[in-house]
Amino acid sequence: MKCFSTPACWMAAALFLGSARAEFQIRNGDRVVFLGDSITEQRLYTTYVEAYATTRNPGWRLQFRNVGWGGDTSWLRQRAHPDEGQLFRSEGADLAQRVTDAVEKGLGRDVLPLKPTFVTVKFGMNDHSYQKFRPDIFRAYTNSQAQIASVLSKHGARVTFLTPQPIEERRPDPDQDDRNASLRRFSDGLGEVARATGSGYVDQFAPFMKLMLDARSADPKAFIGGGDAVHPGPSGQTLMAWAVLKGLGATPMVASADIDVGSKSVKAVACQVTGVTVNGSTLAFDRRDGSLPMPIDARAEDALKRAPILEDLSRLMLVVSGLPAGEYEVLIDDQPVAKVDAATLAKGWNYSNVAGPITRQAREVLAAIFGKNDRYFARWRDVQLHRFPGWANGPEIESRREAELKRLDAAIAEAENRIAELNKPQTHHFVIRPAKP
């Protein structure tokens, strides 16, 4: 792709992300590792991806670990510490050897011991060095990414590359930023690496750029990501997770129930509906869905205004036909949750993120996943990799480290069991009655 400045170009790139892979790339039994830089280390988009996979598939056995490291690059700068001056000057066999040494060292310490079956790799922001496109850095980048795919594949892991998202400065034309033009070229090069290595590829740069341009067209000072220009906050990373999940083949349907008031007939998809009663214009029934809707971080509600996230990833549908015209109050487990008109119910109402017991349960799962991920991060960085000064090293210190690692591993396993318990489907009682004036 040669263009860098038109919305059509960004959309063309965006369409590529979902074209290559149709089925969801995370599978039952997977041990998933998120590898990347500080944007991955934030544990936001990764937790949202994990929450989607977990809530959509409550019967699956899944494990997720985040090994993002601030300032890291595809040649694993923060883990292997290669001489970058020499790396960028190198070509051919010399470059290949330098890349191999760095990648094998970094993956050998932080990724391979986790025995992953699926790894997402998100580098590029630090790699491009926040400047105009440099062929020497790009050469190191593409070679390093190819080597990451090679090493992980040899150890039985499927690999999907994620592009970086664009930099979001407060300017009306982020597509004209030289750094974003460089990131676009890095992202295109990553697509070539993915094709050459048989890896997955998700271009989240293009859809995020399109959302930025759409926002700027309405308000030149709009800032969609929250956080800072490089590190989006919860809203921006929810948009990132939306693009990533679509690229991974995530599907929208959670469950759907179609109820005809006149005949009391029910058509159900991925749910059970029982006890249907009709009293005048009041409908009541019990519903048990096979899974929860994708939880939306309460701090990221603004993202739902930017992109069709619920439409694309979380359709928890209720269709009710035969109700007289007018507005209706919906109660779930005796709790009023919304007012919806008959026309909307007849067309189909997506209540995936409506306040109430279902959304509350999904967000409890999300909170538990955040807690588990924070605990693993502390285990990995503060205990496993903590370096004591030379005079403090010794058998006693290592024995205490091992004991603490075992304690934390047990706590993480307990947290994962708690997530599975919170994630179990529940039966809810619905009442749909005419709303009071």
- List, for residues 342-389, the tens digit of each pLDDT value: 999 999 999 999 999 999 999 999 999 999 999 999 999 999 999 999
- 35: exposed, middle or buried (C-beta count within 10 Å: 0-12, 13-18, 19+)? buried
- The C-alpha atoms of residue 24 and residue 266 are separated, in whole angstroms, by 29
In this predicted structure, which of 20-29, 63-72, 106-115, 369-378 has the lowest mean pLDDT? 20-29
Beta strands in 333-425 (DSSP E): 335-341, 349-350
Which residue is associated with the tokens 């502390």? 378
Tokens of 98: 């330098």
Asked whether the predicted pLDDT for residue 321 surpasses 90, the reply is yes
What's the pLDDT score for residue 22?
Answer: 61
The count of other CB atoms within 10 Å of the CB of residue 132 is: 10
> Average pLDDT of 303-326?
98
Secondary structure letter of residue 391 according to DSSP: G
Counting every residue written for the chain, the total comes to: 437
Averaged pLDDT score across all residues of the chain: 94
What's the pLDDT score for residue 13?
Answer: 43
> Average pLDDT of 169-183?
94
In this predicted structure, which of 5-14, 188-197, 396-405 has the lowest mean pLDDT? 5-14
What's the pLDDT score for residue 392?
Answer: 86
CATH of domain 7-247: 3.40.50.1110
- 247: exposed, middle or buried (C-beta count within 10 Å: 0-12, 13-18, 19+)? buried
What's the pLDDT score for residue 1?
Answer: 33
* DSSP-derived 3-state class of residue 237: helix
Asked whether the predicted pLDDT for residue 5 surpasses 70, the reply is no
Angle at 180 between CA 189 and CA 225, to 5 degrees: 115
> Average pLDDT of 297-310?
97
- The C-alpha atoms of residue 32 and residue 115 are separated, in whole angstroms, by 9
Q: Kindly indicate the confidence band of residue 393, based on its pLDDT and cuts at 50, 70 and 90.
A: confident
**pTM for the structure as a whole:** 0.94
- CB proximity list for 13: less than 8 A, separation 6 or greater: 1, 184, 187, 188, 203, 205, 206
Q: Where in the chain is the domain with CATH 3.40.50.1110?
A: 7-247
What's the pLDDT score for residue 221?
Answer: 87
> Average pLDDT of 307-324?
98
What's the pLDDT score for residue 437?
Answer: 82
- CB proximity list for 380: less than 8 A, separation 6 or greater: 67, 110
Rg, Å, the chain Cα set:
24
**pLDDT > 70: percent of the chain:** 95
Tokens of 301: 């509600």
> Average pLDDT of 174-198?
97
- The C-alpha atoms of residue 174 and residue 166 are separated, in whole angstroms, by 8
> Average pLDDT of 260-272?
97
What's the pLDDT score for residue 384?
Answer: 97
Asked whether the predicted pLDDT for residue 8 surpasses 80, the reply is no
**pLDDT > 90: percent of the chain:** 92
Asked whether the predicted pLDDT for residue 17 surpasses 50, the reply is no
